[in-house]
A = this chain, B = another copy of it.
């Protein structure tokens, strides 16, 4: 009984706007806070203010700070990986160009003003892994999916079979993580683009 009351109540509260839309709007807002300040550095007050909700409503909708962070990480991580998968599947395009498009999108996102935040996973999730193993697990899963996406792309290419698609994917992932770190520490866009171009040449050799 209790749970059906809850559902009815929730449905009434959000009448007129689909729940997924509201969720996405809130995640978009809190993402900015987590991205700039990190998980540990983001206070619940910061998050509630960004979400435009009071703390009890935020709790009720998403659970605690870790739940909210993990929901954000998964939502944006999975969306980015779906975009990568689509690019990597474009077999008619040379693999160099496919990787180049992924890197270009990454650099654009990593260097976005005002904070030049890098990748949310690399920049803000990794640090929490020892103290918040659940965050570490989700982050590791997302990075593995990124490398799997690269791997499927390399497997559908005319490159030599040594290094293997999996080895090339590790390299391609490593380069992307390094771009995230360098962006967050202030590297210039031109330097990141030059680095990406150099590395594509090496990875696809």
Residues of B within 8 A of A126 (CB): 118, 123, 181, 184-185
**Which residue in B36, B40, B195 is a CB contact (below 8 Å) of A38?**
B40
From residue A77, how far is it (CB to closest CB) to chain B in Å? 13
Q: Which residues of B contact A136 (CB under 8 A)?
A: 184-186
A121 vs chain B, min Cβ distance (A): 9
Q: Mark A20-47, 1 if CB is under 8 A from B, else 0.
A: 0000000000000000111011000000
Tell me whether A178 and B174 are in contact in the complex, defined as CB-CB below 8 angstroms, given that A36-B130, A130-B115 are known contacts. yes
CA distance A117 to B130 in the complex (A): 7
> How many A residues, CB 8 Å from partner?
41
Taking chain A's interface residues, is the majority helix, strand, or loop, or is none over half, making it mixed?
Answer: helix
Q: Does A116 contact B (CB under 8 A)?
A: yes
Residue from A36, A40, A115, A139 having most chain B Cβ neighbours under 10 A: A40
- In-complex Cβ contact of A128 among B41, B170, B173, B202 (8 A): B41
In angstroms, how far is the closest chain B Cβ from the Cβ of A205?
8
Q: Which of B118, B143, B171 contacts A199 (CB 8 A)?
A: B171
Extra A-B contacts (10), CB below 8 Å, given A117-B130, A140-B185? A36-B131, A38-B40, A38-B131, A40-B41, A126-B181, A127-B127, A136-B185, A163-B202, A170-B195, A173-B178
Interface residues of chain A, those whose CB is within 8 Å of chain B, are 36-38, 40-41, 115-118, 122-124, 126-131, 136, 139-140, 143, 163, 167, 170-171, 173-175, 177-178, 181-182, 184-186, 195, 198-199, 202, 205
Chain B contacts of A115 at CB under 8 A? 130
Is B123 within 8 A of A171, CB to CB? Answer: no
Q: Which residues of B contact A40 (CB under 8 A)?
A: 37-38, 40-41
Alpha-carbon separation in the docked complex, A127 to B183 (Å): 11
Residues in B neighbouring A143, C-beta threshold 8 A: 181-182, 185
Q: Smallest CB–CB gap between A10 and chain B, Å?
A: 33
